[in-house]
Structure 1
Amino acid sequence: MHRATFDHPYPTTKVIWIPDPATHYPDLLATSGDYLRLWRVDSNGQVHPECMLNNNRNSEFCAPLTSFDWNETDPNIVGTSSIDTTCTIWGLETGQVLGKVTGSVRTQLIAHDKEVHDIAFTKLGGGRDVFASVGADGSVRLFDLRNLEHSTILYEDHKQLPLMRLSWNKQDPNYLATFAMESSEVIILDVRVPSVPVSRLCNHRAPVNGIAWAPHSSCHICTAGDDHQALIWDIQPMPKPIEVPILAYAAEGEINQIQWSSSQPDWIAICYRDKLEILRV
């Protein structure tokens, strides 16, 4: 039984609840698409628009947003990625329980040579200032808000294929995963040894669409794709080759998205066609 529905004026590229396990903040939901939008969910389950954030200071329009990430260490920070090659870091005012939540651009930077497809904060360096992005130029780039004059290229696809998504290991921030457009392979990177993947997960038989690290284990990751499969891998043998996943689930359609619950780590959600399925690990 659903709690609430609400209309969104533009197709969404991502949806995230505010990371707030201690319930210090209002119940806020953020979406990306035409703009970064914040929504408040009241005690009756009704959803109300809170604010709409535009990173273009010179126009009421901005380039479409491909993705965003909500900083888990400081929920007043959100980062967005855009087709205009930029990443924008937003400062939110979320502390008021009753007041209107607002946001402003903290910094905007040209992150890639082409479209930026994804952005994700990491717990490296204290968990507040370091993030990575992937883009259509085929690179993974690492940034630190305390020193934006420099960035580190962690990896470049040798065929310069666009990289579509990235995800940081929840327990060991030295590792992250990414995959290229139309690729059936997931690449695991170690930031301590840039440029060379520490492992490649190759058992999908069609393009990968989603990756999600286990919230409670540094050794497990779930991948899903157009082959209808959700696969869970144990990466503990790295750098030895990882030949096969330890668990597999076959859905009834191409899996477009996966999420591994941080509060209930026995559960993984997958989306295919018009369905959402909850899987028990």
Structure 2
Amino acid sequence: MAILIHKRDGLDDALDKIWAIGRLESPSGRSLLESSLGYMPWAGEGGHRRVWNIDTATAITQLIAHDREVYDVAWLPGSTDIFVSVGADGSLRAFDLRSLEHSTILYETPAPKNVPPPSASPSASARPPTSPLLRIAFNPLDSNYMSTFHMDGSDVQILDMRSPGQPVMELRAHRAQVNALGWGSSENPLLATAGDDCQLLLWDLASYTQNVSSPRNPPNSRLSSPRPDVKKRVVTDPVMAYTAQSEITNLAWSPQIPGMTMNTGHSTAPGEWIAIAIGKQIKALKV
């Protein structure tokens, strides 16, 4: 297992280092880091992305994938070829390592209304500025579904790779901008979202996704064929919520952890935990 460190000093070129960290295990013997597929996508400024071969610590390709900065990347679960990215240009794009000459745009944030057309220039055909997409995460149980959110937005969009172009669901419960999201790893994974409203919200979307599901393509196949348009559903009721004392800036799910006894004498049941970042603090919450 390896971690990629990206550093920028002044005007010098970006420095990338891959650090081998071996295998980290929980007390139960389970790896705390999922096994690597052998490749790691890296997102950078100017729309650049680089794909690293972890075993050889070398970049196998570099892509100019977006018109502006890339903010997040994610592999299609179980695939060694397909990954997606989001960025400041407001687009969600999918790539296949076996066919890198083009990408598939799965979603673009709507162009703002009443914006004058760009002036005549080599980039005059470019889309007007749109709301950036900050994060992207796949549902580990059904990799057709992804979650993302807009910069400064309070809603979370659920997208289906088989129905590109518009969200199939929108989650509306936060009262301020969303900062982070992530899926759990249980048999029925919950989606966690957190934001500037001091709220951590957990969403159970299984019934919604099952209602609009269709047969899945194998994860290593090329991008799924388009499916008939599905009317967007608006979901406003999370199944659980936690209110922090200040804004929540990030979150991370644990793997399944066995029950334990704290030094306070309290015992916990087996299951997942969520770590949240609140100012200078990290809190671990039992789900």
User: Under a length normalisation based on structure 1, what TM-score does the superposition of the two structures give?
Assistant: 0.72
Alignment of 1:64-79 (within 5 A): 74-79=36-41
- Which AA in structure 2 matches 1:88? R
Aligned to 1:270: 276
Match of 1:114 in 2: 68
Q: CA deviation at 1:41?
A: 5.0
Whole-angstrom CA distance in 2 between matches of 1:39 and 1:219: 30
In structure 2, relative to structure 1, the CA distance for the partners of 1:165 and 1:146 (3 Å cut) is same
Aligned to 1:214: 184
Amino acid at match of 1:146: R
1:227 and 1:177 map into 2 onto residues whose CA distance is 19
1-side partners of 2:44 and 2:135: how far apart? 13
Higher RCO, 1 vs 2 (CA within 8 Å, ≥6 residues apart): 2
Give identity over the alignment, percent: 40
Q: Does 1:203 align with 2:173?
A: yes
1:22 corresponds to: none
Q: Distance in 2 between matches of 1:158 and 1:217?
A: 34
Q: Tell whether the 8 Å contact from 1:178 to 1:188 is kept in structure 2 after alignment.
A: yes
Would the alpha carbon gap of residues 138 and 250 (structure 1) be closer, same or farther in structure 2, given more than 3 Å must change?
A: same
Q: Give the equivalent residue in structure 1 for 2:248.
A: 255
Q: Report if the CA contact (8 A) 1:170-1:218 is conserved.
A: no
Write the mapping of 1:1-281 to structure 2, written as runs, cut at 5 A.
Answer: 18=1, 28-34=2-8, 35-40=15-20, 74-93=36-55, 103-123=57-77, 126-159=78-111, 160-238=130-208, 240-264=233-257, 265-281=271-287
Distance 2:87 2:22 in 1: 36
Structure exhibiting the larger radius of gyration computed from Cα positions: 2
Residues 28-75 of structure 1: CA deviation (Å, up to 9, x unaligned): 4443343333335589xxxxxxxxxxxxxxxxxxxxxxxxxxx96644
- Residue identity in the other structure for 1:272: I
Between 215-224 and 152-161, the greater mean CA deviation after superposition: 215-224
Q: Take 1:225 and 1:210, find their aligned partners in 2: how far apart are those partners? A: 7
Partner of 2:220: none
- Gaps spanning 5+ residues in structure 1: where? 1-17, 19-27, 44-70, 94-101
Once the two structures are superposed, residues 134-176 of structure 1 have per-residue CA deviations (whole angstroms, 9 ceiling, x without a partner) of 0111010000001111211000000320111111111110000
